[in-house]
Amino acid sequence: MAAAGPNPQRVGFVGAGRMAQAIAQGLIRAGKVEAQQVLASAPTDRNLCHFQALGCQTTHSNQEVLQRCSLVIFATKPQVLQAVLTEVAPVVTAEHMLVSVAAGVSLRTLEELLPPKTRVFRVSPNLPCLVQEGAMVMARGLHAGNSEARLLQNLLEACGQCEEVPEAYVDIHTALGGSGVAFVCMFSEALAEGAIKMGMPSSLAHRIAAQTLLGTAKMLLQGGQHPAQLRTDVLTPAGTTIYGLHALEQGGLRAAAMSAVEAATCRAKELSRK
């Protein structure tokens, strides 16, 4: 009797680090997949224990994940992904849909390392996926169709916002959505330190700064406004905000932020070429 193929209701993870954990947690919490239908592999038990705590199945065999799951997310470090794909390629079938979240590894590279006509996707997530507020983009390979793209997008939206984009945008997202988390944290820290300088207790200042960022982001997303419009809504003639904005302009905040995204994008493109 022929061996059964991979289960289309299972979701597999090759690599069990923080991003894999975040995506798995989002899928399970949103009811997109049952915990026992998730199978994760890693060389050691160090990260697999987090999947086990969620109720997921685990293994040390990457090939087992492919043999048992039709949708597999590769969440390894970029420098080991080529070796992992070479290892699992013999068990890849036409039923598989393979997704890479490894930064800097192109769709073309994925397709060259896998059997012909394999359906592949490249996804760029970010750290807020850990709290189901991620900003993700996805790009499809040559052989992935609309139905597969819709399926993947629907699943990933359990972890936040997910939009399909041309692959050329992925490196830009790495800078904006990925590195941008660090940029926003630096700005939040600076806001709080300004309040601390003026006499507010540190813990209170940091809580208010973070909540201000959260509330502002929700207003921008839910209202569909351009940031400039919301900024204008806060202004009053000769008020506190315009004095503060003047100070930010004098400090070059806008140009510095644009340069940070540009620098991070250029570095992402450089790493992709390597």
174 is in an annotated binding site: no
216 is in an annotated binding site: no
Q: Take residue 84 and report the two structure tokens written for it.
A: 């992992």
274 is in an annotated binding site: no
Beta carbons of 88 and 64 less than 8 angstroms apart: no
Beta carbons of 179 and 264 less than 8 angstroms apart: yes
Q: Which amino acid is at 157?
A: E
Cβ-in-10-Å burial (0-12, 13-18, 19+) of 167 comes to: middle
217 is in an annotated binding site: no
126 is in an annotated binding site: no
- What's the gap between Cα 90 and its chain centre? 28
11 contacts: CB under 8 Å, gap ≥ 6: 24, 27, 33, 37, 38, 39, 69, 71, 72, 73, 155
- What residues are designated binding site for NADPH? 62
Known binding residues: 62, 75-78
Feature table: binding site for NADP(+): 75-78
